[in-house]
Amino acid sequence: MLEYHLDGTLIGTGGLETSDLENLAGPLTGVREEVLADADLWAGDANVPEAKQPLDAGFHMLPNRLLDELAADGDSSQLAQIQASADRLAELVDSVVVLGIGGSYMGARALLEACCHPYYNQVAPTLRAGRPAVYFEGNNVDNDAVQGLLDLLAGQTGDWGIVVISKSGGTLETAAALRIFLRELTSSISDAAEVGKYVVPVTGTSGKLFDLATALGCDERFPVPDGVGGRFSVLSAVGLLPAAVMGLDIEALLAGAAEMNAHFEREPFDKNLVLQYVAAAHAMEEKHGADIRVLSTWGKRLEAVGLWYDQLLAESLGKHERGAMPLTIVNTRDLHSRGQQHQEGKRDKYITNLTVKQGIREPLAIGQSDYNQDGLNELANKTLPDILSAAIAGTNQAYRDDHRATADLVLPKLDEQHLGQLLQMLMLATVVEGRLLGINPYGQPGVEAYKKNMNAILRK
């Protein structure tokens, strides 16, 4: 199970007092009851009161529901169908372009970067178990980038396909990309009438993309379940279909998330990862003005998880002129860019390290060399993980010496099960924090303003 440690040496000196956390035990335990009741309310027949709307609490028990359905219905369950569709696509094509923006792509990208080969698209297919290369587009409107990807696909010998993801089915960035990529896809396959086999949409049960999918003859398509908001949808077909295309174990992802659900529901305040995480962050913000929430990822593989969390926190809590400012950094890289400010700048930051206990590959040693001008023979037996661990400990020590608060979120391994735990933990924490602040974490009314203006400008 994931671990969460607040740097105990800071209590009393780094801003937080034990009482800050203890004072939140009652309110947060109450909020947990509310969040659990929201999941029941969402699933039941009762009307959702006005004050709770929108209530996109469908994400909460979704992992359990998908796993239960798999156990009960086998091949006809949605999870089995997602896997079958991903396997069919993997047989049919060499590359898949995943079109989507915001919550409709950030989770899949996070899973790819965290769990797949670090050079997934570049390595020989055998090193990615023969699965297709995966590219992300439709998440911007960059003329050069789109055509760059089309060049790359045109230079391939094998076929390529599309997974298009849009809950609303009407997001302009994704829709424009789909039209362009479809045009190229249709002219690149031998039988244009078969294009529907190469395209798998994930969308609502009605809307423009749904209608287009019908017209194209896409027999396989998956829903974004009702009551699951975009940024909470990584453990629905939105994240699971691309993950299955990449060959990830989607059952393990869901099992990890279901474990986090059980932990959240059962564990008391002082052992509850979700409640402890929110308590420390909230106390640092409210009491000490640390409203920049730094997620300090170590190594290269968790940056996209951090960017996914940036969106989750920003779109969920950045409302009514409130909400902490999320910032993902990657160390040791950013110790050489942001480190100075985090060590000596304003005391407006609260740093949570996101680390991995056990890497995937065997530790690589520096090794002896006849050319010792760099003086590294002294460290010949040290490995890259040893250096990373020393950097983490050294950085934490430096913050501690200056009474700057940090916490550690530790993944025992970088695999699907622990990623499932982490994603679910951060989604639950975001909802809990929203309820604690009296902010509805669901919905993103502020995003509509730019869309409305952009469409008006384009269509006038």
Q: Note the residues at the interface with ligand PA5 (CB under 6 A).
A: 101-104, 166-168, 171, 174, 229-231, 315, 444, 447
Nearer to ligand PA5, 95 or 203 (CB): 203
Between the alpha carbon of residue 17 and those of residues 20, 71, 287, 433, the distances in Å are 5, 47, 10, 20
Contact between 120 and 246 (Cβ < 8 Å): yes
Distances from the Cα of 297 to the Cαs of 3, 239, 304, 319, in angstroms? 15, 21, 10, 26
Q: Residue 256 CB, nearest distance to ligand PA5 (Å)?
A: 22
Please give the Cα distance from 208 to 71 (Å, whole number). 33
Nearer to ligand PA5, 272 or 430 (CB): 430
- Start-to-end Cα distance in the chain: 54
Q: Which of 220, 285, 315, 416 is catalytic?
A: 315
- Tell me whether residue 54 or residue 412 sits nearer to ligand PA5 (CB atom): 54
Closest contact distance (angstroms) between CB of 139 and ligand PA5 is 9
315 classed as catalytic: yes
- CA 304 distance to own-chain centroid: 7
Residue number closest to ligand PA5, CB atom: 230
**φ and ψ of 95, to 5 deg:** -140, 150
Question: Nearest approach, Cβ of 438 to ligand PA5 (angstroms)?
Answer: 21
Instruction: Give the residue from 295, 318, 299 showing the smallest Cα distance to 307.
Output: 295
| Whole-angstrom distance, CA of residue 238 vs CA of residue 412 | 26
Q: Work out how close the CB of 447 gets to ligand PA5 at its nearest, in angstroms, rounded to a whole number.
A: 6
What is the separation of C-alpha 347 from the centre of its chain, rounded to a whole number of angstroms? 28
Distance, CA of 188 to CA of 192 (rounded, Å): 8
Q: Of these residues, 336, 362, 452, 460, which one is catalytic?
A: 336
Beta strand 292-298 with 325-331: parallel, antiparallel or unpaired? Answer: parallel
60 carries an active-site annotation: no
CB 432 within 8 Å of CB 439? no
Identity of the residue, 17 or 448, whose beta carbon is nearer to ligand PA5 in the bound complex: 448
Active site residue 451: yes
What residues have CB less than 8 Å from 91, skipping those under 6 apart?
A: none
* E runs forming strands in 206-336: 222-223, 292-298, 325-331
Inter-axis angle of helices 273-288 and 250-266, nearest 10: 70
Question: 3-state DSSP call for residue 325?
Answer: strand
CB 391 within 8 A of CB 430: no
The smaller minimum CB distance to ligand PA5, of residues 112 and 284, is found at 112
State the nearest-atom distance from the C-beta of 84 to ligand PA5, in Å: 23
Closest distance to ligand PA5 from the beta carbon of 316 (Å): 8
Question: Six-digit token pair at 93?
Answer: 């094509």
Q: Please state the closest distance from residue 106 (CB atom) to ligand PA5, in A.
A: 8
Catalytic hit among 52, 208, 382, 451: 451
71 or 447, CB closer to ligand PA5?
Answer: 447
| Residue 248, token pair as written in the block | 């990830």
Q: How far is the CB of 229 from ligand PA5 (least distance, A)?
A: 5
Tally helices (H) and strands (E) across the chain: 15, 10
> Between the CA of residue 157 and those of 94, 195, 274, 281, 416, what are the distances in Å?
9, 18, 48, 51, 32
Question: Per the structure block, which two tokens stand in for 109?
Answer: 């990208």
Residue 10 carries which side chain, given as an amino acid letter? Answer: L
- Report, as residue numbers or ranges, the catalytic residues: 315, 336, 451
